[in-house]
């Protein structure tokens, strides 16, 4: 078996319902993740995409056991993480790291950067005293921050620099897998390009596996090998990235692809990807959860829940009519014309890549 096909992390029928439990909790149940299974291969970049509120972050947290699942299991290197004791959990925490969208919120404002990055080194007993300081310097250098800035505080850095610090902290325990939960969503496009390319470089350099959570398909297109598309707590399509972009099978994927926004310096606020809101996860529509917004919905869609099934090319899709929609050819759901917006964004990311290759890492 090639190293790439080895499964490092697996979610099995994961369910996370918030609320509805004891006397003090809300009687309304939020079905944030509702029966998700996926396998992440060692060394790949696996993306989880979907509109805001679809359960991406909850799924990311379940995969790391930062929250307990209502049902289901996670296997890390073939072993269930639900039953791990505290010592084994510590090891797991070292191997599996997460970086967040808002690095400012995830970095302790009262600690200087050296201590922020040094903390996991101390926690895992990796180095002490001068050796720890040296390791911190090395990590800062790795992410493109001057080691002389170790005594500065998070507020003294720009957004991009803070994300670099978050990445350095995630790298401190020498992890095997990093989950990035919208790691570039809060940054300007040019800074996004730098952070994305930094993550890709680190992945190569340290043999990491990346799981990238994003609502932005341009980011996914640029950096991921495979993509899981989530809608209201479920995976509706799971595919190699190229196949997904060339020929999306699910109407929701299609809709996402035709609506990739181009943030501009003037208008940074992302437009909604699709018409209409995602229905509430407290009362997901019966049958196919996408039927209230799907242009292809028929009576069956309102009654029967479509299972995630395998297409002949190995992709997975949850739609009663994906074959018919495909067969309708150019009319109904042919691949969208390559979006000009997507092309522009990707060109930006690549331009930065080329520039970085020539000049080395930046510390923006
Ligand atoms: N701790 C929580 N308590 C109650 N509801 C939550 C909690 N965390 C997330 N949710 C809800 O679960 C749904 C999925 O949220 P989330 O996983 O953050 O989605 P995404 O990351 O795709 O935007 C949302 O409706 C959100 O409000
Ligand atoms: S099952 Fe029906 S409503 Fe759901 S995506 Fe397919 S066609 Fe649309
Ligand atoms: Mg989220």
The residues, any chain, with a CB within 8 Å of residue 182's CB and separated by 6 or more, are 57, 100, 101, 213, 214, 215
Find the 16 Cα to ligand 1 centroid distance in Å: 10
Mutation test of ligand 1: which of 31, 58, 59, 98 has the most ligand atoms closer than 8 Å to its C-beta? 58
Ligand nearest to the CA of 328: 2
CA dihedral (114, 117, 119, 123) positive or negative: negative
- Averaged pLDDT for residues 327-354: 64
Tokens of 196: 């994305």
Ligand 1 atom nearest 52 alpha carbon: 23
353 CB burial (10 A radius; 0-12, 13-18, 19+): middle
Of 195, 348, 342, give the one whose Cα is nearest residue 262: 342
Ligand 2 atom nearest 302 alpha carbon: 3
pLDDT: which is higher, 218 or 70: 70
Please give the pLDDT value at position 152: 97
SS (H, E, C) the chain: CCHHHCEEEEEEEEEEEECCCCCCCCCCCEEEEEEEEEEEECCCEEEEECCCCCCHHHHHHHHCCCCCCCEEEEEECCEECCCCCHHHHHHHHHHEEEECCCHHHHCCCCCCHHHHHHHHHHHCCCCCHHHHHHHHHHHHHHCCCCHHHHHCCHHHCCHHHHHHHHHHHHHCCCCCEEEEECCCCCCCHHHHHHHHHHHHHHHHHHCCEEEEEECCHHHHHHHCCEEEEEECCEEEEEEEHHHHHHCCCCHHHHHHHCCCCCCCCCCCCCCCCCCCCCCCCCCCCCCCCCCCCCCCCCHHHHHCCCCCEECCCCCEECCCCHHHHHHCCCCCCCCCCCCHHHHHHHHHHHHHHHHHHHHCCCCC
Ligand nearest to the CA of 20: 1
* CA end-to-end distance (rounded Å), the chain: 41
Tokens of 272: 């909604």
Please give the pLDDT value at position 269: 46
Tokens of 104: 């400012």
Find the 244 Cα to ligand 2 centroid distance in Å: 17
Tokens of 172: 């401190």
Report in angstroms the alpha-carbon separations of 181 from 58, 112, 127, 190, 292: 10, 23, 28, 19, 28
pTM: 0.89
Of 226, 185, 265, give the one whose Cα is nearest residue 44: 226
**Contact 261 CB / ligand 2 (< 6 Å):** no
Query: What would the pLDDT profile of 76-85 be if each residue is shown by its tens digit?
Result: 999 999 889 9
Ligand 1 atom nearest 51 alpha carbon: 22
Query: What would the pLDDT profile of 261-316 be if each residue is shown by its tens digit?
Result: 544 444 444 444 467 788 999 999 999 999 999 999 999 999 999 999 999 899 99
Q: Are 262 and 344 in contact (CB under 8 A)?
A: yes
- Averaged pLDDT for residues 325-352: 66
Instruction: Find the range with the poorest average confidence among 6-10, 45-49, 52-56, 330-334.
Output: 330-334
Q: Is 283 left (phi over 0), alpha (psi -120 to 50) or beta?
A: beta
**Contact 296 CB / ligand 2 (< 6 Å):** yes
| Domain over 3-220 is classified CATH 3.40.50.300 | yes
Please give the pLDDT value at position 277: 82
CA-to-CA distance for 158 and 144, rounded, in angstroms? 13
Tokens of 3: 């190293």
CA-to-CA distance for 46 and 44, rounded, in angstroms? 6
Answer yes or no: is pLDDT of 5 > 70: no
Q: How confident is the model at residue 327 (pLDDT cuts 50, 70, 90)?
A: confident
Query: What would the pLDDT profile of 106-128 be if each residue is shown by its tens digit?
Result: 899 999 999 999 999 999 999 99
Please give the pLDDT value at position 259: 66
CA-to-CA distance for 246 and 290, rounded, in angstroms? 22
Find the 9 Cα to ligand 3 centroid distance in Å: 20
**Contact 183 CB / ligand 2 (< 6 Å):** no
Please give the pLDDT value at position 4: 47
Ligand nearest to the CA of 228: 1
Query: What would the pLDDT profile of 127-147 be if each residue is shown by its tens digit?
Result: 999 999 999 999 999 999 999
Q: Whose CA is nearest to atom 27 of ligand 1?
A: 53
Q: Whose CA is nearest to atom 5 of ligand 1?
A: 18
CB-defined site of ligand 1, < 6 Å: 18-19, 30, 32, 50, 52-58, 281
Query: What would the pLDDT profile of 222-271 be if each residue is shown by its tens digit?
Result: 899 999 999 999 999 999 999 999 899 999 998 888 765 544 444 444 44
Task: Give the other-Cβ count within 10 Å of 242's Cβ.
Answer: 12
Q: Domains of the chain: which residue ranges? A: 3-220
Ligand 2 atom nearest 236 alpha carbon: 5
What's the mean per-residue pLDDT of the chain?
Answer: 87
Answer yes or no: is pLDDT of 57 > 80: yes
Mutation test of ligand 2: which of 298, 299, 303, 317 has the most ligand atoms closer than 8 Å to its C-beta? 298
Q: How confident is the model at residue 26 (pLDDT cuts 50, 70, 90)?
A: low
Report in angstroms the alpha-carbon separations of 112 from 72, 125, 165: 39, 20, 11
Mutation test of ligand 2: which of 306, 309, 316 has the most ligand atoms closer than 8 Å to its C-beta? 306
Answer yes or no: is pLDDT of 357 > 80: no
Please give the pLDDT value at position 343: 76
For residue 32, the Cα-to-chain-centroid distance in whole angstroms is 16
Find the 72 Cα to ligand 2 centroid distance in Å: 26
The residues, any chain, with a CB within 8 Å of residue 169's CB and separated by 6 or more, are 107, 116, 117, 119, 120
Query: What would the pLDDT profile of 170-194 be if each residue is shown by its tens digit?
Result: 999 999 999 999 999 888 888 998 9
**Contact 294 CB / ligand 2 (< 6 Å):** yes
């Amino acid at each position: 078996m090639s190293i790439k096909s080895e499964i490092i992390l697996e979610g099995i029928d994961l369910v996370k319902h918030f609320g509805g439990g004891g006397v003090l909790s809300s009687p309304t149940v939020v079905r944030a993740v509702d029966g998700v299974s996926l396998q992440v291969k060692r060394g790949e970049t696996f993306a989880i995409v979907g509109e805001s509120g679809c359960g991406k972050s909850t799924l990311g947290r379940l995969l790391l056991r930062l929250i307990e699942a209502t049902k289901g299991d996670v296997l890390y290197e073939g072993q269930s993480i639900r039953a791990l004791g505290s010592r084994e959990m510590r090891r797991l925490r070292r191997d599996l790291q997460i970086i967040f969208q808002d690095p400012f919120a995830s970095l302790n404002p009262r600690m200087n950067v050296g201590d922020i990055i040094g903390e996991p080194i101390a926690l895992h007993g990796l180095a002490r005293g001068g050796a720890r300081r040296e390791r911190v310097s090395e990590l800062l250098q790795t992410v493109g921050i001057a080691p002389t800035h170790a005594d500065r505080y998070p507020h003294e850095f720009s957004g991009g620099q803070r994300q670099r610090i978050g990445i350095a902290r995630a790298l401190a325990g020498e992890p095997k897998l990093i989950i990035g939960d919208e790691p570039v969503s809060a940054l300007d496009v040019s800074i996004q390009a730098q952070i994305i390319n930094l993550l890709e470089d680190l992945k190569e350099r340290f043999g990491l596996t990346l799981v990238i959570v994003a609502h932005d398909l341009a980011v996914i297109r640029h950096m991921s090998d495979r993509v899981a598309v989530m809608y209201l707590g479920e995976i509706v399509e799971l595919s190699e990235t190229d196949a997904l972009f060339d020929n999306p099978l699910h109407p929701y994927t299609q809709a996402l692809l035709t609506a990739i926004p181009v943030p501009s310096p003037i208008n940074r606020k992302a437009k909604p990807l699709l018409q209409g809101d995602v229905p509430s996860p407290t009362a997901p529509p019966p049958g196919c959860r996408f039927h209230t917004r799907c242009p292809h919905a028929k009576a069956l869609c309102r009654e029967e829940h479509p299972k995630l099934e395998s297409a002949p090319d190995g992709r997975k899709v949850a739609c009663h009519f994906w074959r018919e929609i495909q067969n309708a050819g150019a009319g109904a759901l042919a691949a969208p014309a390559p979006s000009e917006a997507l092309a522009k964004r990707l060109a930006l990311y690549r331009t930065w890549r080329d520039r970085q290759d020539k000049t080395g890492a930046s510390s923006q």
